[in-house]
Each structure stands twice: as C-alpha cells, then as structure tokens.
Structure 1
C-alpha cells in the first residue's frame, strides 16, 4: 500500500462508517484525489481497489484494527495530519456528522497520535469549509 492508498482508504472508511455512503462524500473523495498535490502521481484506478479492501475489512470482526495496522505500516508520520484533515473533510461533506463517523474520527485521531490542539484546529477548518448558508 502506498501512502496515497492509505489516505484513500481512510477517506472511504469514514464515508462507509455509518453504512450510508453519500454522494457528497464520494464527490469529496474524488475531488481530493483529482486536485491535491499529494495525489499528483496517484493511479485513480487504485481507488476501486482501496474501496473493496475497506469493504472487505469492514465485514470482518477486527477489520478496523486491520485497517489501522495497514495505515500504521504504510503511512509516513509526516502525513498523519493530512490523513486526519482528509478524513474530517469527508465526514463534514454531507453536512451531518453521525455518531459512527464521530467515533471513527476519534479512533483515527488516536491511531495517528495527533496532538489534541492540532486535531481541534483541523476539525474546525473542516467545519468552516463545509458550512451551509
């Protein structure tokens, strides 16, 4: 798994966490992959592979732990804040944050060992970017 695969997998996991993948969330993921510099060399066909991996893992009892293991082993620490920011953007994309999404974001924050103040700033930024009228 590449670092970019890890980022995509986390975004998909956040979208799938409430068992309701919304169009706004998919558009947000696609937009990130198409526009952010970190994905400049990324093969977009890998998105389907990552989606299937996440769905397969989520069907297993310890699937989330397995996903976090892959992230820990393949995502460089310098991209932890990027991973959390992308996860927050996907969670905020549809204007609703459900209990499952909030729980997963909390677990991602813990797994990525993010400083609480930095995480709060990232969350605030996502909220501000996705505010509705």
Structure 2
C-alpha cells in the first residue's frame, strides 16, 4: 500500500525522533500534538497515528531499512509540502532541547533530498531554536 502524504509526514517525524537511536516520550508527545493541531493534518484520521508509527518501524526494520523508509516517505510528500516536512522534522529533533550528531545528519539528508531554498531551511532551523528556548537563570 503506498504511503499517503500524511503518512509520509508522520514517517519523517518518527524517523527524525528516532534518528539518535531513541524516541523520547517528549518527542512522541510532540508528534501527537503536531498531528492534532496543525492545519496540514486537517481531515487526517488521528486514531491511525499509532498504526502509522508501527508501520514506519516495520519499514525501518524491513529489508529496505532506514533508507527505504525515508525514500518511501519522501516519495509520498508533494513538492509544495517539502518545507512543511522539513519544519516538522526540525521541530521534532529540537523538542528535547539537544541535537545529537545523528539528528543533524538526518536533517542534512532531508535538506539534500528536498528542493527547498537554503534560506528557508535556515529560517526554519532558527525559528525552532527560538521557540524551544527556556528563560535564562
């Protein structure tokens, strides 16, 4: 069954969250919250989220591996949603307030795959950092 655009976005968030080998509760809660509140997920059956996450894990652990799961997700995402997909991946990787080397490599891979202007990706990254800052002291 081909991956829908919604499923592709969710798969990329799942892979982003687990790119450092673990998905934290905070990352999973962030994925749930984004799916629940963002306009791009309007009309999406939110009760499918756990099943879609499991399907993503099966793809990653299947014969095509991580590369196949990413390739399938990217193929399902229309060009006009590539910046949204990148923003979602950045949001999930920054949600726990630290970026591991593996997460940075995953984001770099997405930047290379997407046809999104470098200024746009830099703005997305800066916005995510700004939104996740804590008060000093």
User: TM-score normalized by structure 1?
Assistant: 0.91
Match 1:59 to one of 58, 61, 66 = 61
Distance 1:61 1:113, change over 3 A: farther
Answer with 44-53 or 93-102: which moved more: 44-53
Shift of 1:67: 1.9
**Alignment partners' CA distance in 2, 1:73 and 1:20:** 25
Mapping 1:72-111, distance limit 5 Å:
72-111=74-113
Answer with 16-25 or 90-99: which moved more: 16-25
Which residue does the alignment assign to 1:48?
50
Match 2:14 to one of 12, 15, 31 = 12
For the pair 1:37 / 2:78, whether they are aligned, the reply is no
**Alignment partners' CA distance in 2, 1:93 and 1:76:** 25
CA deviations 1:49-84 (Å, max 9, x no partner) are 221222223324642221232123211100000000
Which residue does the alignment assign to 2:70?
68
C-alpha RMSD of the superposition:
1.5
Unaligned runs of 5+ in 2: none
Aligned structure 1 segments of 4 or more residues deviating by more than 6 angstroms: none
Answer with 31-40 or 42-51: which moved more: 42-51
User: TM-score normalized by structure 2?
Assistant: 0.89
Answer with 65-74 or 16-25: which moved more: 65-74
Answer with 44-53 or 82-91: which moved more: 44-53
CA deviations 1:23-56 (Å, max 9, x no partner) are 2111111111110111111111322222122222
